[in-house]
């Protein structure tokens, strides 16, 4: 194993078959055969590492998992059918009736739905903390708190929290620290270095990078991932070998793609700071970001998401989205193509107005997933849409 990210992303591969292929093949099979009954018995008894069934394990999926384990500095991992399957599967593995989960308030809309609508069905309590007020977290930890959960940077508000602080809190109170690292990717941030126990990804986003597949990833400490594996193996949200093959190829270019995403995003964020149609622009590596110092400490670049607030609120937001000519209007991010979204009416629409305000999702908030096009072309489309939406 190399000390360099890009080498590990490219050279972590399955052993070659007797065909001596250079690029790893796809193992599109639902099950695997055995030479004899004893081998089959031993596999089911976990006395050997023979594959049994692709819901349990698959060589193509295993390669993807091993790459992510190496890149995140983890011990083990499991790939799921989606990012939300990774989140829900992790929660359900460790939480039972009477337990409590403490989460940052700035989380993805579907994660909010799980915490507030579904976990109460199993009598699991949840509370939110303000990601901008880390000094308030410890007072919210209860005797029955089991998991401390956070997104950093958060979706869509780009809030940042000190992972080292969370790691120390989790260790002090014997909590499982779960970090959604989707927005940063292991190319920019390594939560396990700061004390995370489990790291989660929606591989649908930057890991894929071209909007082709849906998938999720869980990596972390071996004994915890083992419990997650046993739960998910029996409940079924496994990743397909085809998607895993696409994603393992995508990882080979993640480092260089993230360099360009980050470069474009910083260029656009800086240029928009002086735009008179905007109340503010937010990007982790802008010096006026509230947690800029923390972002610089735990991230090597600011990521590919830029947010801004339109002065005209909801009405201007709708006009802005309709005026875009090149940027895509779609429910995704992390694509090679730049994407604009309006969280208040889409990804976070199921939150009440009070809940949206509490996590900084204002009526005029626009989230830009900055793609790999030329930065000048991305900026030109945004600026012309701003003018049209403002009636200039």
Q: Are residues 46 and 89 in the same domain?
A: yes
Give pTM, 2 decimals. Answer: 0.94
pLDDT at 98: 98
Domain residue limits at 353: 255-389
CATH of the domain at 374: 3.90.1150.10
pLDDT at 348: 66
DSSP structural state of residue 22: S
Task: Tell me phi and psi for residue 240, to 5 degrees.
Answer: -75, 145
Contact (Cβ atoms closer than 8 angstroms) between residue 72 and residue 252 = no
Q: Are residues 233 and 318 in the same domain?
A: no
CATH of the domain at 242: 3.40.640.10
Q: Are residues 140 and 272 in the same domain?
A: no
Which 3 state secondary structure label does DSSP give 333? coil
Contact (Cβ atoms closer than 8 angstroms) between residue 335 and residue 378 = no
Q: With 80 as the cut, is the pLDDT of residue 167 above it?
A: yes
Q: Report CA-CA distances (Å) from 61 to 31, 80, 213, 217, 222.
A: 13, 10, 14, 11, 17
**Cα–Cα dist 7/4, whole Å:** 6
pLDDT at 313: 87
Q: With 80 as the cut, is the pLDDT of residue 319 above it?
A: yes
Q: What's the rounded mean pLDDT across residues 66-72?
A: 98
Residues in the chain, overall count: 392
**Cα–Cα dist 387/392, whole Å:** 5
User: Tell me: the pLDDT tens digits for 122-146?
Assistant: 999 999 999 989 999 999 999 999 9
Q: Are residues 164 and 240 in the same domain?
A: yes
Q: What's the rounded mean pLDDT across residues 96-107?
A: 95
Mean of all residue pLDDT scores within the chain: 95
Q: Are residues 248 and 259 in the same domain?
A: no
Q: Are residues 318 and 243 in the same domain?
A: no
Q: What is the dihedral of CA 86, 159, 247, 32, to 10 degrees?
A: -10
Q: Are residues 129 and 108 in the same domain?
A: yes
What percent of the chain is modeled with pLDDT above 70?
A: 98
Q: Are residues 246 and 191 in the same domain?
A: yes
Q: What's the rounded mean pLDDT across residues 172-192?
A: 98
pLDDT at 385: 97
**Cα–Cα dist 182/199, whole Å:** 9
Contact (Cβ atoms closer than 8 angstroms) between residue 367 and residue 305 = yes
pLDDT at 359: 67
DSSP structural state of residue 27: -
Contact (Cβ atoms closer than 8 angstroms) between residue 110 and residue 84 = yes
Lowest mean pLDDT segment, chosen from 86-100, 208-222, 333-347? 333-347
DSSP structural state of residue 288: T
pLDDT at 351: 67
User: Tell me: the pLDDT tens digits for 369-380?
Assistant: 999 999 999 999
């Amino acid at each position: 194993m190399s000390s360099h990210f890009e080498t590990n992303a490219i050279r972590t591969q399955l052993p070659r078959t007797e065909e001596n292929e250079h690029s790893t093949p796809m193992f599109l099979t639902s099950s695997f055969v055995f030479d004899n009954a004893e081998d089959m018995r031993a596999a089911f008894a976990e006395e050997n590492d023979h594959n049994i069934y692709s819901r349990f394990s698959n060589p193509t999926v295993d390669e993807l998992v091993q790459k992510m384990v190496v890149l995140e500095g983890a011990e083990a991992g499991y790939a799921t059918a989606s990012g939300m399957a990774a989140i829900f599967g992790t929660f359900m593995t460790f939480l039972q009736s009477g337990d409590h989960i403490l989460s940052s308030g700035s989380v993805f809309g579907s994660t909010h739905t799980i915490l507030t609508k579904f976990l109460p069905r199993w009598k699991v309590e949840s509370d939110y903390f303000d990601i901008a007020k880390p000094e308030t977290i410890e007072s919210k930890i209860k005797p029955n708190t089991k998991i401390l959960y956070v997104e950093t940077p958060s979706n869509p508000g780009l809030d940042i929290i000190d992972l080292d602080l969370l790691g120390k809190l989790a260790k002090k109170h014997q909590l499982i620290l779960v970090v959604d690292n989707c927005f940063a990717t292991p190319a920019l941030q390594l939560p396990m270095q700061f004390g995370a126990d489990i790291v989660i990804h929606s591989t649908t986003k930057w890991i894929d990078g071209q909007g082709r597949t849906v998938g999720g990833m869980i990596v972390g400490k071996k004994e915890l991932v083992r419990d997650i594996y046993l739960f998910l193996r029996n409940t079924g949200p496994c990743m397909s070998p085809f998607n895993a093959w696409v994603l393992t190829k995508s990882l080979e270019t993640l480092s260089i793609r993230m360099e360009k995403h980050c470069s474009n995003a910083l260029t656009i964020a800086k240029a928009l700071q002086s735009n008179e149609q905007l109340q503010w622009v937010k990007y982790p590596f802008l010096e006026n970001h509230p947690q800029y110092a923390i972002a610089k400490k735990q991230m090597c670049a600011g990521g590919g998401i830029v947010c801004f607030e339109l002065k005209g609120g909801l009405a201007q937001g709708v006009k802005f989205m309709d005026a875009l000519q090149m940027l895509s209007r779609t429910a995704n991010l992390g694509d090679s193509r730049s994407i604009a979204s309006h969280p208040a009416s889409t990804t976070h629409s199921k939150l009440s107005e009070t809940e949206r305000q509490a996590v900084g999702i204002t009526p005029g908030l626009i989230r830009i997933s900055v793609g790999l096009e030329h930065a000048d072309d991305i900026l030109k489309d945004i600026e012309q849409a701003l003018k049209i939406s403002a009636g200039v």
